Amino acid sequence: MSPDPWSLYALMLRSRLFEEAIAKLWHDGAISGEMHLGTGEEGIVAGVVAHLRDGDAMALDHRGTAPLLMRGEDPVAILRELLGRPDGLCGGKGGHMHLFSRRFLAASSGIVGAAGPAACGFALAAQHRDAGAVAVAFFGDGALNQGMLMESFGLAAAWDLPVLFVCKDDGWAITTRSDGVAGADPMARARGFGLPAVEVDGRDVAEVWEAARVAVGRARTGGGPSFLRARCVHLEGHFLGFQLVRIVRDPLRAGPEVAVPLTRSLLRPGGGSIAERLRGLTGVVGAVLSTLRDPRRDAANDPVRRAREALPRDADRLRALEQRIGLEIGGVLAEASP
Amino acid sequence: MSPDPWSLYALMLRSRLFEEAIAKLWHDGAISGEMHLGTGEEGIVAGVVAHLRDGDAMALDHRGTAPLLMRGEDPVAILRELLGRPDGLCGGKGGHMHLFSRRFLAASSGIVGAAGPAACGFALAAQHRDAGAVAVAFFGDGALNQGMLMESFGLAAAWDLPVLFVCKDDGWAITTRSDGVAGADPMARARGFGLPAVEVDGRDVAEVWEAARVAVGRARTGGGPSFLRARCVHLEGHFLGFQLVRIVRDPLRAGPEVAVPLTRSLLRPGGGSIAERLRGLTGVVGAVLSTLRDPRRDAANDPVRRAREALPRDADRLRALEQRIGLEIGGVLAEASP
Amino acid sequence: MRTLGYTAAIDDALAQAMAQDPRIVVLGEDVPMLRRDLLVRFGPKRVRGTPISESAFLGAGVAAAMAGLRPVVELYMVDFLGVCMDALLNHAAKVAAFSGGTCTAPVVVRAPCGGGYGDGGQHGQTLWGWLAHIPGLTVVAPSTPADAGGTMLAALGHDRPVVFLEHKLLSETWLEFLGSGGRTTVRFDVPENGTRGEVPDPWEPVPIGKAVLRRPGTAVTLVSVGVGVHRALEAAAALEPEGISAGVLDLRTVSPLDRDAVLAEVSRTGRLVVVDEDYEAFGLSGELAAVLAEAGVAFKFARVCTRTTIPYAREMEAEVLPNMQRVCKAVRQVTR
Amino acid sequence: MRTLGYTAAIDDALAQAMAQDPRIVVLGEDVPMLRRDLLVRFGPKRVRGTPISESAFLGAGVAAAMAGLRPVVELYMVDFLGVCMDALLNHAAKVAAFSGGTCTAPVVVRAPCGGGYGDGGQHGQTLWGWLAHIPGLTVVAPSTPADAGGTMLAALGHDRPVVFLEHKLLSETWLEFLGSGGRTTVRFDVPENGTRGEVPDPWEPVPIGKAVLRRPGTAVTLVSVGVGVHRALEAAAALEPEGISAGVLDLRTVSPLDRDAVLAEVSRTGRLVVVDEDYEAFGLSGELAAVLAEAGVAFKFARVCTRTTIPYAREMEAEVLPNMQRVCKAVRQVTR
Ligand SMILES: Cc1ncc(C[n+]2csc(CCOP(=O)(O)OP(=O)(O)O)c2C)c(N)n1
Ligand SMILES: Cc1ncc(C[n+]2csc(CCOP(=O)(O)OP(=O)(O)O)c2C)c(N)n1
Ligand SMILES: [Mg+2]
Ligand SMILES: [Mg+2]
């Protein structure tokens, strides 16, 4: 079995354009607080969500917009929710970190790791309600250090729950590199709970799709939970307006804000030895530098672009598709925020 | 290097006699609530504690009496604490699940898994205070499913903390068999966090001693944390007066209390299918049966007896030793509860 | 009418509901043994043992409720909510609000609570006032077998998350398991009417949010829940000879509070004494004072609550938890 | 005297203490970046980044404090205490009691709190009244840069666990990080005097448990903490033209409560309006009513608090959190 590259590309492009519209609204101030986008992880989300059907459930993290959109939730309702309108998906009460869809059995949470227990609960209900249904949990690499998620791995394994745990691994938890604070690599950790674990390139939707097909199939037929690790790059960094990214994109403006107090404190009498201070400085500079070598600028890391390049040559069909989606999102935008 | 069998046996016997005295006091009603003893895990505790020295710390679970006694805390103060006397180790405020010793840097908790974070904190302090000091965490197999303990494994590994995680594995969490609710085996789980993990027979103090020597040595010299799994049998079951054990030891009295309502409910109309009900019954009976095949009665599971048999033949020395310890504990008893 | 013990009553009502509603499942540590009577009747799919992973299985219960099940999630003790509070604070309590009312999480969290048997400060808390602080949580703490069973039935029919607190001192089962352990050598100050009593057959739901006047009184109103209700009743009886007429109002539900009942009683007596086994500060006793002050009722006020961490020693514990003597003292103070 | 922002003041006082006391270490997620100024001065041994394992590193902080360190454990937001509450509820708060006073856990838990920037109900709670319910915890919530720095210094010298709550609306740093993200297109209702102000050099500790009267008044006393203090001050100013003299008492410390200050003020004015951003029921507002009722003070009472889960939409959020208009309404009600 192989995926239909056109429909996967369509899913991803639609999500990308939708989130780019959200980014614009956020920059214009139409959206207030934090805004975490899924731009860069569309390959993972599309590759997994494409396998879901009625009765399946999704437990989402702080990047729930893309999965919900790809699953089929009304884009106008989602956008109105992000705009905080009473006619939004959740009446403006939830917001982008708390998107709920009764129709698609989806629950989001801004609490890191909460997708684990939620997916177990959805899967438990599935076992009782309609055997054959599955639950997917989406979370990041940082979440792997959260106790409740680890407990969920154990519970799902002990109860053979039909869960697919999807780790969208961008290597970062906000400003912290995961390899610096995690005991071992994610695969070993997942396997330590008895979960079958597979690793794929999350920038390649076809790879994800195939791995998800196997895992979801296993879950549907009583084979129990699986763990999928998919690497990706978040094109906007942790969230919109992310300081590290701002420093990189606008060093003249954002740089001094950081550098001046930093230097003053570095030279302040009283405190650590020169060696200790330098170790500290290395840490800060390191984080900024690893952002400077900005993988976001590398087109190879954009799953949407890669999906586009992987399409069979058919210029007309492509143009038609992109035009259709462009128009749709334009229409959504117009309808949601007159 | 090899341990001194006499001193290890002395440590264990002293603890055993002390806890048998506690059991007596409990049965007489001099101690009120729950009472979890360490009888059966003396081999593990002695084998580990023998390696501790000034500056080292212990994070204890609900079975903290034995480690504290073996570490050198005043038995009279401990016993008075268990008796709830104002002149007890903690002024009668803590009790057996909350024994604290400032002198030996020991903290107990009745919250399953809490020994993990505590040991990490003690180890962190050690890194700052006196390099070379270590922290030990004692916990059971059931605790391996508690998020905070798993998080501690990751934190200790990430920070290279001088911690020895000791899992006293009796295969049970109260009435639950661990192999029935855990995703994978403890060794795999620990290794999943990057912890060097060793498995020993906890009924053999020499084996534990040797494994602990290596792990503690590694921690002292900056080699980071380790995980030690030691199997054991709790001679009194989960706690004193444990229902399952009572059924086994006094079936005529304790049996009907359980069997009568059970049968009535089994036959009650409305509810699951015959098959479901039988599955349920099998579960209950299974738990009771696995207690009936009471490993507690098998002398081979008693670490104290085994340590005694492993002693070099020297009847006089043995008699003298046992007499001395017997007298000491007798004296403690007399002094603590006049 | 038949007579049942407190915990037996809860399990009996639960069984009645389970027989009628296949959506009800029971999960928790040792549940196969603790609820063995349910296990052999409803089978291992509906009565499930869990690992010691409260965050995972409580969180799972919340989501399962969103997906249409009616989970009863058992915690070994309410004290252990500490390790999994997020599932209540940030999830169960907020699902309905976040989703604009499109989703709800009708999970029942059942947990033994309370002290009085010498188990130490991590195993004797009640925490009902603490939980009631969180918008979106319903918190009940019945004080008799009849109320316990009927309230469980109501909780199972409630469309929002309910924390069902089962006081260990009222539960022969729990006291046997955790306290006496089959011994006859220990004594506990157990309120008789709380532990065994007549119960209806079949069960009828006891409405959530409705208090009940256990004893009428004209001079002062004692308001309480759980074991405190019985301490209050003992005190009221003891004070009668002194010519003090003390009424006792059993809230039964901590949140939502039955404001009307409290206002009605205290407006008449003008005196309120709160008997609350939960911690004193920033809790139930304060809320009751606020409710009256908001309504503009003038009242004399005293409270008998737990002020510190609960000590292990039985004698110290007996002093720290509300007892009949302390209640009498407080009543005399406001009636003098 | 110099002028500093709210968070800069806390970090500056912390730096002063760290330079003097090598036992102070700072741990938490992203602290190497959030506290980079401390990192480059004190080095990575004393300023440590953690994995997203709150239960492990908060619990570790508690034990490290027992062992002689003075850890400042940072949580990303107070809302996230849900996942690690056990470390506070059953450990930090109880160590001193359990050990009969032989051990203490002087850990400082630093956490941003509060709403007003549209981050939704899991990221805008304050929870100070909820935390204050637990015996053994000290809870502070300063409302100005000078208090923030001085209170941090006092917390670092305190021999018991302290929860230090830093309101995001008062913190340019946090608002920049979580709210505006460098944008000029969003506005927040930021209380000026709370965000920047004169601070002492060197820092002196601001005593824990002492309230301060921000504005004298004869007709009614507004009692609050954090951002609420500024809402109360705005309201008091707005009411002056109506001839209503409203005083404003800033508790600064939620627990232990400065009962004397509250009693003194309200006894004079006879009217109490509580402005509390934390949830209304079973919390700070109730405790204040109880303190007065216990003391036998007759008073009129109203409260302006958060009653429901905090909604995401800015307009809805502004209605749910205490605002100047609601405070004025409450004051008029009790003074009419
Ligand atoms: C329990 C908890 N701790 C901390 C946070 C703050 N926080 C929000 S997102 C985040 C990083 C998550 O990293 P990861 O899981 O890798 O997801 P990513 O953002 O990289 O997609 C943190 C620490 C939180 N929301 N919840
Ligand atoms: C967080 C938490 N959950 C549940 C309990 C109740 N409880 C006390 S001991 C215990 C079993 C622990 O099993 P294990 O860790 O194997 O230790 P063992 O008693 O077998 O030595 C349980 C579930 C608790 N004390 N804390
Ligand atoms: Mg990440
Ligand atoms: Mg065990």
- Residues 6 or more apart whose Cβ sits within 8 Å of residue C319: none
Q: What is the mean pLDDT of residues B60-70?
A: 98
Percent of chain B predicted with pLDDT > 90: 84
- Residues 6 or more apart whose Cβ sits within 8 Å of residue B326: B17
Distance CA A119, CA A151 (A): 12
Distance CA C319, CA C302 (A): 17
Question: Does the pLDDT at position A94 exceed 80?
Answer: yes
- CA B185 – ligand 2 centroid, Å: 18
Residue B313, classified by CB atoms within 10 Å of its CB into exposed (0-12), middle (13-18) or buried (19+), is exposed
How many other C-beta atoms are found inside a 10 Å radius of the C-beta of residue B294?
16
Output the pLDDT for position B251. Answer: 80
Output the pLDDT for position D311. Answer: 98
Q: What is the mean pLDDT of residues A83-90?
A: 97
Beta strands C47-49 and C24-28, pairing class: parallel
Contact C321, C310 (CB under 8 A): yes
**Alpha carbon B24 to chain centroid, angstroms:** 19
Distance CA A195, CA B335 (A): 55
Using CB atoms, pick whichever of A155, A157, A192 lies closest to residue B192: A192
Contact A71, A49 (CB under 8 A): yes
Residue having the nearest C-alpha atom to atom 21 of ligand 1: A140
Output the pLDDT for position B243. Answer: 84
Output the pLDDT for position B182. Answer: 84
Question: Does the pLDDT at position B292 exceed 80?
Answer: no
Residue A217, classified by CB atoms within 10 Å of its CB into exposed (0-12), middle (13-18) or buried (19+), is middle
Contact D42, D72 (CB under 8 A): no
| pLDDT band with cut points at 50, 70 and 90 for residue B252 | confident
The reported pTM is 0.98
| Closest-CA distance of chain B to residue D230, Å | 39
| Torsional sign, CA A156, A157, A161, A164 | positive
Q: What is the mean pLDDT of residues B56-67?
A: 98
Atom of ligand 1 nearest to the CA of A36: 19
pLDDT in tens, B156-180: 999 999 999 999 999 999 999 999 8
pLDDT in tens, C94-108: 999 999 999 999 999
Question: Does the pLDDT at position C242 exceed 80?
Answer: yes
| pLDDT band with cut points at 50, 70 and 90 for residue C140 | very high
| Closest-CA distance of chain B to residue C59, Å | 13
Question: Does the pLDDT at position B99 exceed 90?
Answer: yes
Q: What is the mean pLDDT of residues C27-44?
A: 97
Q: Tell me the average pLDDT of chain A.
A: 94
For residue B63, which ligand has an atom nearest its CA? Answer: 2
Using CB atoms, pick whichever of A90, A92, A105 lies closest to residue C67: A105
| pLDDT band with cut points at 50, 70 and 90 for residue C224 | very high
Residue having the nearest C-alpha atom to atom 13 of ligand 1: A173
B318 token code pair: 């043995």
Candidates B109, B136, B138, B165, partner chain D, best to mutate (most D CBs within 10 A): B109
Q: What is the mean pLDDT of residues A257-278?
A: 92
Beta strands C271-279 and D2-5, pairing class: unpaired
ipTM greater than 0.90: yes
pLDDT in tens, A293-308: 777 778 889 999 999 9
D91 token code pair: 């450990």
| pLDDT band with cut points at 50, 70 and 90 for residue B67 | very high
How many other C-beta atoms are found inside a 10 Å radius of the C-beta of residue D253?
26
Question: Does the pLDDT at position C256 exceed 90?
Answer: yes
SS3 C258: coil
pLDDT in tens, B2-55: 899 999 999 999 999 999 999 999 999 999 989 999 999 999 999 999 999 999
Question: Alpha carbon of C317 to those of B249, C232, C311, D313: distances in Å?
Answer: 33, 18, 5, 48
Contact A238, A172 (CB under 8 A): yes
Lowest mean pLDDT among A107-111, A249-253, D27-31, D168-172: A249-253
B146 token code pair: 């508690």
Higher-confidence residue of A129 and A323: namely: A323
B317 touches chain A (CB under 8 A): no
Output the pLDDT for position C227. Answer: 98
D307 touches chain A (CB under 8 A): no
Lowest mean pLDDT among A151-160, A177-186, A272-281, C281-290: A177-186
Are C53 and A151 an interchain contact pair (Cβ–Cβ within 8 Å)? yes
| Closest-CA distance of chain A to residue B107, Å | 22
Neighbours of chain A (3+ CB pairs under 8 A): B, C, D
Distance CA C44, CA C61 (A): 16
Beta strands D196-199 and D2-5, pairing class: antiparallel
Angle, CA B220 vertex, CA B215 and CA B225 arms, to 5°: 50
B22 token code pair: 């506690």
Q: Of these residues, D123, D158, D167, D230, which one is catalytic?
A: D123
Output the pLDDT for position B258. Answer: 87
- Chain A residues in contact with C90 (beta carbon < 8 A): 109, 111, 114
Residue having the nearest C-alpha atom to atom 11 of ligand 1: A173
Output the pLDDT for position B244. Answer: 82
Please tell me which residue of chain B has the smallest CA distance to A143: B151
Atom of ligand 2 nearest to the CA of B62: 9
For every residue of B109-153, DSSP letters joined together read: -SSTTTHHHHHHHHHHHHHHS-TT--EEEEEESGGGG-HHHHHHH
- Chain C residues in contact with D299 (beta carbon < 8 A): 293
Token pair 């009743």 in the structure block, residue: C233
Question: Does the pLDDT at position C59 exceed 80?
Answer: yes
Binned average pLDDT, 10 residues per bin, chain D of 336 residues: 95 98 98 96 97 98 98 98 98 98 98 97 98 98 98 98 98 93 94 95 98 98 98 98 98 98 98 98 98 98 98 98 98 96
Question: Does the pLDDT at position B291 exceed 90?
Answer: no
Output the pLDDT for position B253. Answer: 81
- Residues 6 or more apart whose Cβ sits within 8 Å of residue C89: C134, D79, D82
| pLDDT band with cut points at 50, 70 and 90 for residue A53 | very high
Higher-confidence residue of C11 and B293: namely: C11
* Helical (H) or strand (E) element with A26: helix A5-27
Are B155 and D50 an interchain contact pair (Cβ–Cβ within 8 Å)? yes
Output the pLDDT for position B298. Answer: 84
Are C133 and D129 an interchain contact pair (Cβ–Cβ within 8 Å)? yes
Question: Alpha carbon of A135 to those of A54, A119, A122, A220, A273: distances in Å?
Answer: 11, 6, 6, 10, 52
Question: Does the pLDDT at position B246 exceed 90?
Answer: no
Whether omega before C145 lies within 30 degrees of 0, making that bond cis, reads no
Nearest C-alpha neighbor of D65 from the set D177, D150, D159: D159
Token pair 């805004």 in the structure block, residue: A35
Output the pLDDT for position C1. Answer: 77
Q: What is the mean pLDDT of residues C208-218?
A: 98
Q: What is the mean pLDDT of residues B78-84?
A: 98
